[in-house]
Structure 1
């Protein structure tokens, strides 16, 4: 990878603080290079301006340009679904899939994913507005899962599903500064999702992005970027780590909302009882 080689070639020219940044970034490259400036500075035990100077020392005008270069080279080297299938059939089987998934989920406790989960919880919990849950053609499954669970704890949770109706785009006109959008965007990234994020950010709302390790371009607009693994020993990408990260966010919010969520759940049960909604879901009844 070009940027990684650039860091290695410049390493001896860096200051002691900049070398700490280089070590943090190359430790789990490329994902370790794509957090926020503050996050990288904290992990390297340096100041945020030092991280900016590090990028300039490598020849980039801004730290965002440094990260954009990494995303571009990773995306360029990414295989298409057809190529993944071809490679899979040439190389063998998907044995060890469950162990692979377990390892991916366990890494969610480490940075940058671990700190991103904590930041996502803080942003969602602090919001007094609506929570929008959005995903693309494939990732909308995760968005709907978040909305379904979160709606049992607080009101004004909206799942915007592109497949269901063209009306979901109209809902973007209702977004306010007090709102939060949790957006799932995985390879191959959709221009439509970037446009949605751009509109939402323009209206002042915060964006929590859940994406793959290569990082969606939306990370430039997001308040928090939560990277999760999607690749497995199978040629099919997985949502399992993304759902696990979502469950971690939900579990933390349960503790934060406490009495609020308890009161809402009681109200939901009463409404369902009176309307009969979900009354026949138990096959034994």
Structure 2
């Protein structure tokens, strides 16, 4: 899917929405995508906006009509729910036996990397980096089935850069006692890609209620965690193969680590020097 998801579009244009249009946006994100599949009048009632405001909001998102908007949402639902087994149906159409699989695959990865850069505003990346580098706030990290490894990779680096870094246990039951130490205004980095993790969504809801600032690293379809996130960083992962490719997610993780190290260099230099000296 080449065009950004509806959620991604909302985050891109949020700064220019009117107060009434922002109510429509919040209503949609809070009940995504269900409310958008309802009639205009129902969408308006549930979001506390007028029908005219809903239509203006849809136009701001770049849709010519409400049916076009709903068609996009339905296509997103299909993409979000696809399992690796379903995606393999598209993969077998590639003539890999006579082609250059490795070269073609790497070309797709390069396209995904560039698409990711173009869809993440500099202001969002900087906001996330500043949160990570702020040593006055503890920083907690969590991932899902395939992204927990990235959470661990980020944790291993940031422990050298600044104090107050902790990765939450991948087992939901083990997170309960860890949540006791998370304070209001702490930073929580959540990695969540399709098919989205219901436990991470519940975690985000809990932390949002405690006024924890959430940074979400997700895919082009945008995890439901976005409704609770302060910063959303979408990465392109689709490669028309059985498995999604998380190369752009990993690259973004390394970029955040590098930028955080620069921003917190005074602290990072001392900590890294202590480790080098043994």
> Relative to 1, partners in 2 of residues 1:199 and 1:47: Cα closer, same or farther, differing over 3 Å?
closer
Which shows bigger deviation, 91-100 or 176-185? Answer: 91-100
Alignment correspondent of 1:238: 245
Q: CA deviation at 1:84?
A: 0.8
Q: Distance in 2 between matches of 1:204 and 1:247?
A: 27
Alignment correspondent of 1:125: 133
**Cα-Cα RMSD:** 3.1
From 262, 265, 283, the equivalent of 2:269 is 262
Q: CA deviation at 1:126?
A: 3.6
Alignment correspondent of 1:81: 84
Q: Distance in 2 between matches of 1:72 and 1:179?
A: 36
Unaligned segments of structure 1, at least 5 residues: 2-27, 274-285
1:40 and 2:36 are equivalent in the alignment:
no
Report the TM-score when normalising by structure 1. 0.72
1:30 and 2:4 are equivalent in the alignment:
yes
Q: Distance in 2 between matches of 1:49 and 1:100?
A: 40
From 121, 142, 146, the equivalent of 2:150 is 142
CA contact (8 A) 1:33 1:40 kept: no
CA contact (8 A) 2:184 2:210 kept: yes
Q: CA deviation at 1:267?
A: 2.1
Tell me how many residue pairs correspond in the alignment: 238
Q: CA deviation at 1:83?
A: 0.9
Between the two structures, name the one with larger relative contact order (CA 8 Å, sep ≥ 6).
2
Alignment correspondent of 1:9: none
1:159 and 2:156 are equivalent in the alignment:
no
CA contact (8 A) 1:35 1:112 kept: no
Q: Distance in 2 between matches of 1:72 and 1:129?
A: 40
Q: CA deviation at 1:32?
A: 6.7
Which shows bigger deviation, 141-150 or 104-113? Answer: 104-113
CA contact (8 A) 2:14 2:22 kept: no
Q: Distance in 1 between matches of 2:23 and 2:166?
A: 41
Report the TM-score when normalising by structure 2. 0.74
Q: Distance in 2 between matches of 1:113 and 1:237?
A: 23
> Relative to 1, partners in 2 of residues 1:268 and 1:167: Cα closer, same or farther, differing over 3 Å?
farther
SS of 1:85's partner is: helix
> Relative to 1, partners in 2 of residues 1:114 and 1:103: Cα closer, same or farther, differing over 3 Å?
farther
SS of 1:182's partner is: strand
